A and B are shown apart, each in its own frame.
Chain A
């Protein structure tokens, strides 16, 4: 929450999607910005401060992009409510800054006319004026200002000094800003919208001269990238490259982080006397939080791609290409980006569903996002595949192990499509799909600074989560796995006597049809914090000391103790099982309801059970038991 000193002026940036509003916000505030949530809703609130040439410090808030104040999504409701001063705890902006893409002014001018009706001080900024002028678009700024009845200025958000003129005008406005309390606003009717757009078109006609030819570069690129066949091939190749990058580029850094946490654990062990405190710190906190933080590099690489593609203008095109395919399964084209993020981790994926206007489409996407194979499943998959699936060639260069890994991913994707299809039939029966309408912005070179700020924000959110919810879960699970301790003279590992083991043994009647023994059940309990913790837990129950060859040793121990049917059943279990407390917590927060979290947990658990059961029975029937 920005606490404005009395007399300080508060600005709000408002504009249509893709108008370069966020780039302008970044240019104005630089590092002096913070991202939080609006109270009660899960809409991101970006605010910051900046200093004008006269030395005034002003605060500014970047409102979610919108085409009108009619507010069709939670994001747009925030924009409307902030502007109208209806949002409790949010300061009413003193001056509205309407940001418009100078290359695409038509729709923005209509929004300006709508904003003008509110009666608040208003300034129109023609952003990306350099690109517009280079394309031969000419502006009569005085005329535009006179016709609109609103001061007009220009900016180049991505260039140093590109906001000087804007800052100067802000100074003038602050000095002259009349205090107005007039605030009468009604949603525009269809007829009023038409009138407003006609007026906007008329003003465009008098103050803006368009060149004969539109931007041909975007057209030429799109001729390939939106081609029905070539575009699809490019998208698939791009996705393939992204996955390669996420897994190969991240590995050295992940090893470093892992080693760092191991060293930290050893250090803590050395400094503290053996006992409850040492165990809590090393086995609980350092191992638990470290086990999640290790995914930070993968998440950052994935987000780097997403931010770059977004800034380039490609993401809207990916949604265009995928809309029909996803629509067949009852998903919205815009669900593509959240589901893509879910391959790194379902948490940022679920948070990214905020771009979907319709609540129903958004809920469907949230419910299926955890089915995408997140990177936390990889250690479990690798361990079991390495131990049980023979390393032989299948066809030519395709290995059997790699094929099984691919099959696990494919099953995840297919089941996500299937589940969303069923959800559509079950929950939203009779409800027709929301329209898919999306502006395809011109291609633009991404700005390193904007991408860096975006990455930094993501990293901070993820680390903060690891420090709070995941921290708490790690402590809880450590408690379950450590208490009560082993009795005097016990020979088995201490975990065998713990609450976790009690739970594991109590679950045997339920999981024995799946071929799971109580040791697996024990591993599933700490695996609730983060799936990959199950690997370490298996190591503990089979009393293997951690270290370099731990994974290999666990694999050998498993191969000796389990049948192949059990291993396959566990793989099937992990495709579906809702084994991630943090994901469930995010679902609760994003849907604002325990019920949807419960639905997700129940359906995933049911799918996991059935899949493991079928896999085990089939494998046993084939003599693999």
Chain B
């Protein structure tokens, strides 16, 4: 079970790094509840789940996770903060963090504000 605290550190590192105007995209699978951002890329690693990478990418796009969409993590499960419920533009989608690793996002403060 992946611990969320490691990921928080990862996010914190980025926050402290104020000099870069556009920080690196992070996988949605590592983001915390309350995270708000925009999808930068859908890019699945091979053997990351039960599907081949291109199939997982297609499914993610079909359910709404396309580049440019606004995402927000609304809820998370009881064990291991998994799965997550994500607001994608105007819809809410539930998925596991493992699959959400293929969704690369930029925090909304970076792109918009």
Query: Can you give 19 contacting A-B residue pairs, CB < 8 Å?
Result: A68-B58, A68-B62, A188-B58, A189-B58, A190-B58, A194-B67, A198-B67, A201-B68, A226-B74, A228-B78, A232-B78, A320-B75, A321-B77, A323-B83, A358-B50, A435-B50, A436-B99, A437-B94, A438-B93
Interface presence of B32 (CB below 8 A): no
Interface presence of B85 (CB below 8 A): yes
What per-residue 1/0 map shows which CB atoms of B87-113 lie under 8 Å from chain A? 101111111101100000000000000
Could you say which residues of chain A place their CB within 8 Å of the CB of B93?
A: 437-440
Interface presence of B54 (CB below 8 A): yes
Interface presence of B45 (CB below 8 A): no
Contact between B94 and A320 (Cβ–Cβ < 8 Å)? Answer: yes
Contact between B85 and A193 (Cβ–Cβ < 8 Å)? Answer: no
Contact between B94 and A316 (Cβ–Cβ < 8 Å)? Answer: yes
Interface presence of A469 (CB below 8 A): no
Contact between A106 and B89 (Cβ–Cβ < 8 Å)? Answer: yes
What per-residue 1/0 map shows which CB atoms of B53-65 lie under 8 Å from chain A? 0101111111110
Interface presence of B80 (CB below 8 A): yes
Could you say which residues of chain A place their CB within 8 Å of the CB of B91?
A: 104, 106-107, 439
What per-residue 1/0 map shows which CB atoms of A355-366 lie under 8 Å from chain B? 000100000000
Could you say which residues of chain B place their CB within 8 Å of the CB of A327?
A: 96
Interface presence of A210 (CB below 8 A): yes
Q: How far is the CB of B93 from chain A (nearest CB, A)?
A: 5
Question: What's the tally of chain A residues with a CB closer than 8 Å to chain B?
Answer: 51
In residues 219-248 of chain A, which contact B (Cβ within 8 Å)? 219, 222, 226-229, 231-232
A-B contacts counted at CB < 8 A amount to 131
C-alpha spacing A20/B80, complex, angstroms: 34
Contact between A440 and B90 (Cβ–Cβ < 8 Å)? Answer: no
Q: Which of B50, B60, B67, B74 contacts A432 (CB 8 A)?
A: B50
Contact between B90 and A198 (Cβ–Cβ < 8 Å)? Answer: no
Chain A residues engaging chain B, CB cutoff 8 angstroms: 67-68, 70, 72, 103-107, 110, 188-190, 193-194, 197-198, 201, 210, 214, 218-219, 222, 226-229, 231-232, 316, 319-321, 323-325, 327, 333, 358, 431-442
Interface presence of B76 (CB below 8 A): yes
Q: How far is the CB of A330 from chain B (nearest CB, A)?
A: 12
Question: What's the tally of chain B residues with a CB closer than 8 Å to chain A?
Answer: 40
Could you say which residues of chain A place their CB within 8 Å of the CB of B47?
A: 432
Could you say which residues of chain B place their CB within 8 Å of the CB of A188?
A: 58
C-alpha spacing A438/B68, complex, angstroms: 20
Contact between B61 and A194 (Cβ–Cβ < 8 Å)? Answer: yes
Contact between A103 and B95 (Cβ–Cβ < 8 Å)? Answer: no
Contact between B95 and A435 (Cβ–Cβ < 8 Å)? Answer: yes
Could you say which residues of chain A place their CB within 8 Å of the CB of B51?
A: 434-435
C-alpha spacing A145/B56, complex, angstroms: 31
C-alpha spacing A437/B94, complex, angstroms: 6
Residue of B nearest to A193 (CB): B61
Q: Which of B58, B61, B62, B83 contacts A320 (CB 8 A)?
A: B83
Could you say which residues of chain A place their CB within 8 Å of the CB of B50?
A: 358, 431-435
Contact between A229 and B78 (Cβ–Cβ < 8 Å)? Answer: yes
Residue of A nearest to B72 (CB): A214
Contact between B75 and A226 (Cβ–Cβ < 8 Å)? Answer: yes
Could you say which residues of chain B place their CB within 8 Å of the CB of A214?
A: 87, 90
Contact between A323 and B77 (Cβ–Cβ < 8 Å)? Answer: yes
C-alpha spacing A218/B95, complex, angstroms: 18
Q: How far is the CB of B96 from chain A (nearest CB, A)?
A: 5
C-alpha spacing A535/B66, complex, angstroms: 59
Contact between B58 and A222 (Cβ–Cβ < 8 Å)? Answer: no
Q: How far is the CB of A100 from chain B (nearest CB, A)?
A: 12
